[in-house]
Amino acid sequence: MALVSVAQLDRAFPCGGKDWRFEPSRRHKMLLNFNSSIETLAKVGPIFSKRLCGLGIETIKDLLWYFPQRYEDFSQITPIKQAKLNEKACFCGTISQFTTKKTFKRGLFLTEALLQDKTACLRVVWFNQPYLAQTLKEKDLVCLAGKVAMDKGGIFLQSPSYEKVFEEENLTHTGRIIPIYPETKGISSRYLRYLVKQALKAALPSIQETLPENILKQQALLPLSKALTEIHFPSSFATLEMAKERFGFEEIFLIQLAVLKQKLKVQKQKAPSVPFKVELVKDLVAKLPFKLTDAQRKCSFQILKDLERKRPMSRLLEGDVGSGKTVVAVIAMLSCCKAGFQAALMAPTEILAQQHFNEVSKLLQPFKIKIALLTGKKDKIISQKIGYQTREGFKPETMEISRIKLLEKTKLGEINVLIGTHSLIQEKVKFNTSEKNGLALVVIDEQHRFGIKQRQKLVTGKSNKLLPHFLSMTATPIPRTLALTLYGNLDLSLLDEMPKGRKRITTEIVAPKERQRVYAFIKKEIKQGNQVFVICPRIELPEENEGNLSAKKSSWAEVKAVEEEYDKLSKVFFKSFKVEMLHGKMKPKEKEKIMLDFKRGKFDILVSTSVVEVGVDIPGATAMLIESAERFGLAQLHQFRGRIGRNKKEAFCFLFTESNSQKTKQRLKAILKAKNGFELAEYDLQIRGPGGLTSVKQWGLPDLAMLALKNLKLVEKTREQAKETLTNSPNLVQYPILREAVARFEKIAHLE
């Protein structure tokens, strides 16, 4: 896979007396740095600058970190005599019989030429590229790379990439491993290769290495300048892999440094020490209407032991849908309250906050503690004495009070457990300031990145106040590589066991011809008093050059898909039933009302996008239809499926797909076989990458970092290296360039 050099071409195809190599006087002599505007490069005017900006390329650094998505191997020059039909190859020779004409029928420009080397001649055809007549001339020595095709005139080279060999010492578009970039309208890979080559020549002399020299040596990584050159213009596939490894390592290393720095910050703080009262826990467990699983017991023990320490706990409680995370959190909250402290539970939506309020009230009903709900609508408070059962589930006896009164009671310490949305971290919400009676535990549902600043917002007074313990809960199973990287500042507790008696949801992959059979089954379910979810896929559109236009189009296309499905189901297939729809363009209050009405059984079918709230409990839902299931990740499908089967009735999930791909069928079959979400998450990570598991895009990670997250050895290696680096220099003072890089990453990832 050796790079074709000018010397090799000179020997193979002598061109006479002219020195056709790149003239030194024409070199780009201006030294640029990574922060230089993209417009400092040749052939980048206002129009192209705007187009590049749409790809996220505004500076030289943006351009150099705009890595190719794939590569074409044209590093071997093929003699024309050995040209094979339907194969891609690179040929080198001289141009002759160059003509351009316009076709009569289709009105296309047809440019034809003959390419000749020492072995034979080959016809070359370009479609709709009349400008080539001004670019290529007869007797030019060129390299052409493309696919060999056939028409009635015989074999020919179809619309190949072209390059005059006298333009540069090293070829750019042919005769080597060619980078292919993500493109957009008006920005081709050829143009990007031209710009990248300029940028490398101009900026590399002033480049600063981001990784310390000792790490480069220990990990046998390429220096930054070499890695940038090789990832754009690899001299071989072996060096290309080395460049990818370098950048994959660096991205994961920066994340590890950022999250471990966060962890070190927390560990320097002091927290309330909550005694582990075994008899209290036994009393609560004995009063539960179910038996704890071994996993719940183990996780509860880990958390209670953490609460005893005078250092803040930072723990992620990870469990499958229905594995019983809330009970574990309640055990921890009860321990805090009975020790005289306060606890807070934050949920992402008002519906979930209300749901948690009901659940916590039910589980703590026998204990004399006060629980309050703080939402944007009404504020409720309950003294744990009595509750009653309704069709919708347990309802605590509550009294509604004014927000001012509730905030006053919270500040005085009269509220033991405060439940709400992110309104809990507003300035007006203040907990008791006493170190013996203040806030000891914060429980967050589905929100992992909750740093020191957020925790300090929950406590008043000086910054040296005790920091509350932190417990984050998630129903999304996270593979070890992802957990060690993105959530490396949190200790893990795994609920990898389901409660006994929980029925397995019957899941079926449905072909188009089986749709009517499933619809008939759904009608029977609804007539029996059950409810149904219909999930429509997210529609990804090609990227446009106008910034976030593609994202806007995608979200509107998603709405359109839901509206079309809603019309089809409500007016044709299920017109005798009540159907409602839900999508991301609705206002939060509108979405919450629809979910609440669905929970109360006011309609039978909910047609929704993937905005269906994680954790929302709809006891009456026993069936789910997922349209174009192949568009979702397996972990996401598992999450959707967890919205049903939350009562004692049998539940059914139907995965509709029109794909005939064996790979798609094999992937979807994994959801039928997997024992739990953890198995699916690992499988999904290998197939789709972490984007299907968590909102990795919010971290600003490039593709190489996302690929690196699949490699457990690499992740563990970067973690150990990050620990060692922070041990040597906790604030990275010894590594100023690395410190700046970490600071930039922290800003992107919003770790605080």
Residue 705 in any domain: the answer is no
pLDDT in tens, 119-129: 999 999 998 88
Which of the residue ranges 174-188, 190-204, 371-385, 401-415 would you say has the lowest mean pLDDT? 371-385
Averaged over 567-571, what is the pLDDT? 90
Question: For the chain, what is the radius of gyration of the CA atoms?
Answer: 31
Q: Tell me the average pLDDT of the chain.
A: 82
Tally of domains in the chain: 4
Q: Provide the domain limits for residue 104.
A: 1-28+85-170
Q: Is residue 654 one of the residues assigned to a domain?
A: yes
Same domain, 470 and 560: no
283-311: average pLDDT:
94
Q: What is the pLDDT of residues 1-55, one digit of tens each?
A: 344 443 344 444 333 333 333 333 333 445 677 888 999 999 998 999 999 999 9
Domain identity same for 163 and 22? yes
Residue at which a domain ends, from 170, 199, 233: 170
Q: Backbone phi, then psi, for 745, in 5-degree steps?
A: -65, -40
What is the four-CA torsion angle of 181, 184, 186, 189, rounded to 10 degrees?
10
- Tens of pLDDT, residue by residue over 219-259, are 999 999 999 999 999 999 999 999 999 999 998 999 899 88
Q: What is the mean pLDDT of residues 184-205?
A: 91
* CB-neighbour burial class of residue 553 (10 A; exposed 0-12, middle 13-18, buried 19+): middle
Which residues lie across from 170 on neighbouring strands?
Answer: 5
One domain for residues 23 and 57: no
Tell whether 58 and 196 lie within a shared domain: yes
Same domain, 3 and 48: no
Q: CA of 122: how far to CAs of 92, 96, 109, 173, 728, in Å?
A: 11, 10, 20, 20, 64
For residue 241, being part of any structural domain is answered with no
pTM of the model: 0.76
Closest CA to 288 of 364, 361, 219: 364
Looking at residue 167, its pLDDT comes to: 54
For 185, other C-beta atoms within 10 Å of its C-beta total 12
Residues listed for the chain: 752
Other CB atoms within a 10 A radius of the CB of residue 104 amount to 7
> Is residue 568 assigned to a domain?
yes
Q: How confident is the model over 161-180, as a mean pLDDT?
A: 83
Extract the tokens encoding 132: 């080539």
Which secondary structure element, helix H or strand E, spans residue 444, and what is its range? strand 439-445
- Digit-coded pLDDT (tens) for 89-104: 999 999 988 888 887 6
Query: Does residue 747 fall inside a structural domain?
Result: no
Is the domain of 338 the same as that of 401? Answer: yes
CATH of the domain at 139: 2.40.50.140
For residue 14, the model assigns a pLDDT of 38
- The 3-class SS string of 473-504 reads EECCCCCHHHHHHHCCCCEEEEECCCCCCCCC
Whether residue 38 sits in one domain with residue 24 = no
Among 675, 699, 723, residue at a domain's last position: 675
d(CA 476, CA 348): 15
The CATH number assigned to the domain holding 601 equals 3.40.50.300
Winning range, highest mean pLDDT, from 32-41, 376-385, 411-420, 631-640? 411-420
Q: 389 has which bridge partners?
A: 394
Task: Please give the average per-residue pLDDT across 488-493, as a whole number.
Answer: 86
- In this structure, the answer to whether residues 296 and 191 fall within a common structural domain is no
665 domain-assigned: yes
Return the residue matching tokens 């590093």: 75
Q: Is the pLDDT of residue 75 over 80?
A: yes
Residue 214 lies in a domain: no
Domain limit, last residue, from 151, 170, 189: 170
Q: Are residues 191 and 286 in the same domain?
A: no
Residue 96 bridge partners (DSSP): 114
Residues 549 and 659 in one domain: yes
Structure confidence at residue 498 as a pLDDT band (50, 70, 90): confident
Q: Give the pLDDT confidence score for residue 18 in this predicted structure.
A: 35
Q: Which helix (H) or strand (E) holds 326?
A: helix 325-338
**Same structural domain, 13 and 56:** no
CA distance 425 to 261: 23
Q: Is the pLDDT of residue 593 over 50?
A: yes
Domain assignment present for 22:
yes
pLDDT tens-digit readout, 658-709: 888 888 888 888 888 877 777 777 777 777 666 555 544 444 455 677 778 7
- How many beta carbons lie within 10 A of that of residue 378, not counting itself? 13
Give yes or no for residue 312 having a pLDDT over 80: yes
CATH number at residue 190: 1.10.150.20
560 shares its domain with 587: yes
| Residue for token pair 């995965």 | 655
**pLDDT value of position 649:** 83
User: Which of 323, 331, 56, 34 lies closest to 181, judged by CA?
Assistant: 56
635 band by pLDDT with thresholds 50, 70 and 90: confident
